[in-house]
């Protein structure tokens, strides 16, 4: 395990599976986007604007269909099926 990380993918996966709902993923996405654009401080005004941006440009967009890029999802799904992991067959 890399000692420079606060949590592992397994810990996050288990937490997401047992404790996280859709609204909490939306909050995670807002925080990740704010970090990515270099926002200095996340205030109530920033949260309101971020919610507006995501509502209009992400959730209601036909261009963006997933939290993670479709190409990456397809590749990961294919590789895990080939390796005999149990994954959802939602295609």
Q: What is the mean pLDDT of each run of 10 residues along the chain (91 residues)?
A: 81 90 85 89 94 80 64 83 84 54
Which pLDDT score is estimated for 85?
A: 87
Which pLDDT score is estimated for 83?
A: 92
- CA 8: distance to chain centroid? 15
CA distance 81 to 49: 40
Q: Please report whether residue 70 resides in a domain.
A: no
- CA 51: distance to chain centroid? 15
Q: Please report whether residue 21 resides in a domain.
A: yes
Which pLDDT score is estimated for 3?
A: 73
**pTM of the predicted model, to two decimals?**
0.64
Q: Please report whether residue 23 resides in a domain.
A: yes
Q: Per the structure, how many domains does the chain have?
A: 1
**What is residue 32's three-state secondary structure?**
helix
Structural domain span for residue 24: 9-64
Q: How far apart are the first and last CA of the chain?
A: 33
Q: Please report whether residue 86 resides in a domain.
A: no
CA distance 63 to 59: 10
């Amino acid at each position: 395990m890399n000692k420079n990380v606060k949590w592992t993918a397994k810990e996050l996966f288990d937490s997401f599976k047992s404790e996280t709902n859709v609204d909490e993923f939306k909050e995670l996405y807002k925080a990740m986007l704010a970090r990515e654009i270099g926002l200095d401080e996340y205030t109530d005004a920033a949260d309101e604007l971020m919610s507006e941006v995501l509502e209009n440009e992400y959730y209601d967009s036909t261009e963006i269909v997933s939290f993670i890029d479709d190409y990456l999802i397809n590749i990961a799904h294919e590789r895990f099926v080939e390796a005999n992991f149990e994954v959802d067959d939602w295609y």
